[in-house]
């Protein structure tokens, strides 16, 4: 069982880092009011306002921010300001034992998926797949997206059914297993590395943005041929935002691609979860056990904090 970090208390300080691309500073600045509404103080990492092409500072600067936030006993949680690209570039230099010895909340999604996988493997810690902080500064943030941060303050099960969004059973049955996964592109990029995602007996989450069906087909084929789909106990399909044909005008639909790879697996598979690049964006812990009941179209997730 993975280490569950300590819950937040009102008055705690969170550390804000940008381990991938630079955040939208205007939106990030607006998001600070949301942290204050939660009763939290915050410290901004040095690299958050740096720019090195498509990266928020050099690899050394982004890595130092992460290590500083882990080591600092006054920081109760680490929240990623943005995704984009570049988190995987620092994965092979992270001091994983440092986080295992100083477990604290780590929150983000999209490109941060690579770090979720790596931290789950080598720090043996529960992490949180939730919206980046800069996205919380947008005008259109759903109330449910905001409410999902409450799980950091009080251990509580998450129950996701059709009261939140319309769900479709692609393959029936019920299963219990550890939650893993996140952004499909980053899951696929982990294959063949020492951070390769382990799906054996686990419930796999997949989501992505801006990929046409042919590209999603290629990524799912990679998961199929590397046996990640066969080894998973169940699959939850999050949002595939802007998955419209572009290069291939005469294209299969997204649903046809998903059905081809996931419909005949003979294990629980449900699609339609508002998890990913969407509103609401339902934040969930990774590394805890969940029960996916595809027949009832219901997902129950154990608490991520203690």
What's the whole-number average pLDDT of the chain? 98
Which of 178, 207, 212, 239 is an active site residue? 207
CA atoms within 13 A on the CB side of 226: 19
Residue 154 above 90 pLDDT?
yes
pLDDT for the residue 40: 98
Residue 230 CB-density burial (10 A; 0-12 exposed, 13-18 middle, 19+ buried): middle
CA–CA dist 227, 296 (Å, integer): 27
pLDDT at 249: 82
Q: Are 152 and 305 in contact (CB under 8 A)?
A: yes
pLDDT of res. 244: 94
Q: Give the pLDDT mean for 193-214.
A: 98
Give the largest Cα separation in the chain, rounded.
56
Please indicate whether residue 279 is annotated as part of the active site. Answer: no
Banded pLDDT at 19 (limits 50, 70, 90): very high
Residue 130 CA to residue 148 CA, distance in Å, equals 8
Determine the pLDDT at residue 216. 98
Q: Is 247 a catalytic residue?
A: no
Q: Which domains does the chain have, with CATH numbers?
A: 13-152 (3.40.50.10740), 158-301 (3.50.30.60)
Cα 183 vs. chain centroid, distance in angstroms?
7
Instruction: Report the residue count for the chain.
Output: 306
134 carries an active-site annotation: no
**Adjacent-strand bridge partners of 105:** 77
Report the DSSP pairing between strands 284-286 and 289-293.
unpaired
Single out the catalytic residue among 116, 129, 215, 277.
277
Residue 282: the pLDDT is 98
| Options 21, 110, 185, 190, the catalytic residue | 110
Between strands 41-44 and 13-17, the pairing is parallel
Cα gap 36→107, rounded to integer Å: 17
């Amino acid at each position: 069982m993975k280490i569950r970090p300590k819950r937040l208390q009102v008055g705690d300080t969170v550390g804000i880092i940008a381990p991938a691309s630079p955040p939208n500073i205007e939106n990030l600045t607006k998001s600070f009011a949301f942290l204050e509404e939660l009763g939290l103080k915050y410290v901004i990492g040095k690299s958050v306002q740096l720019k090195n092409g498509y990266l928020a500072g050099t690899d050394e600067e982004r890595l130092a921010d992460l290590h500083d936030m882990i080591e600092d006993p006054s920081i109760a949680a680490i929240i990623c300001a943005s995704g984009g690209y570049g988190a995987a570039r620092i994965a092979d230099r992270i001091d994983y034992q440092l986080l295992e010895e100083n477990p604290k909340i780590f929150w983000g999604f999209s490109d941060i998926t690579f770090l979720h996988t790596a931290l789950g493997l080598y720090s043996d810690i529960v992490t949180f797949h939730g919206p980046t902080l800069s996205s919380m500064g947008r005008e259109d943030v759903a109330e449910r997206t905001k409410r999902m941060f409450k799980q950091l303050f009080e251990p509580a099960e998450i129950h996701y059914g059709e009261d939140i969004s319309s769900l479709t059973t692609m393959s029936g049955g019920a299963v219990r297993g550890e939650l893993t996964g996140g952004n499909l592109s980053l899951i696929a990029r982990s294959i063949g590395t020492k951070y390769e995602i382990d799906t054996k007996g686990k419930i796999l989450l997949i989501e992505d943005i801006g990929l046409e069906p042919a590209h999603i087909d290629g990524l799912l084929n990679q998961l199929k041929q590397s046996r990640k789909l066969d080894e998973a106990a169940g699959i939850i399909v999050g949002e595939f935002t802007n998955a419209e044909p572009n290069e291939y005008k005469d294209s299969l639909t997204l649903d046809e691609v998903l059905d081809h790879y996931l419909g005949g697996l003979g294990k629980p598979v449900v699609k339609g979860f508002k998890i990913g690049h969407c509103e609401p964006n339902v934040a969930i812990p990774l590394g805890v056990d969940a029960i996916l009941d595809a027949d009832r179209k219901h997902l129950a997730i154990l608490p991520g904090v203690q």
